[in-house]
Amino acid sequence: MSSDGARAAFDANPDAVLIVGADGVITEANPAAHLLFGYAPTELIGLGVEHLVPELSRHRHAQLRQGYEAHPLPRPMGLGMGLMCERADGTNLPVEISLSPLGDGRSTVATVRDVTDRLVDRNEARRSIARLELLEDRERIARDLHDMVIQRLFASGMSLQAVAAIAEPAEVAERIMTTI
């Protein structure tokens, strides 16, 4: 970092920010990066960026990184792919990553954001929508059943009125009409 202002902005960024050389080695990391990835400040510097990628994706990530280095442009990384990073303790974390080449053309700034809370909120919203749809279906069924029951009760009442008209003795007819 060349100036005090740039260093202060770098350190104050709430997202993890890494500066990665063309060789894939991390040369700078802000405090948020140490916190996000779970490494001590001295451990991230000099570490290959692939160490922050889950084991199964490391080889592919190295290939993609080399492709990016050949044509570096500011852009989101792996948009819509559900990117994961691997923390120092081996746990995986869902992230969004933005890439931008530095002016020297030999380094890349990677901004990494933890999206765990957003995914939890999205999943909760999906569950809420599913519950709402279920309740709406139940309400519709209850309405249909209610309408059907009312129709049957009305039909039964009409049938009983017809029976009351021909019922003998008169007490039975009166009792039927009172019940209706």
Mean pLDDT of 59-84: 87
Q: Which pLDDT band, with edges at 50, 70 and 90, does 161 fall under?
A: confident
Q: How far is CA 4 from the centre of its chain?
A: 37
The model scores a pTM over 0.75: no
Tokens coding 100: 């931008």
Q: What are phi and psi of 119, to 5 degrees?
A: -65, -40
**Other CB atoms within 10 A of residue 88 CB:** 15
DSSP H/E element including 14: none
Q: Are 113 and 95 in contact (CB under 8 A)?
A: yes
Q: Are 42 and 26 in contact (CB under 8 A)?
A: no
Whole-number percent of the chain with pLDDT over 70: 97
Burial class of 150 by CB neighbour count within 10 A (0 to 12, 13 to 18, 19+): exposed
pLDDT, tens digit, for every residue of 150-159? 888 888 888 8
> Cα–Cα distance between 22 and 19 in angstroms, integer?
10
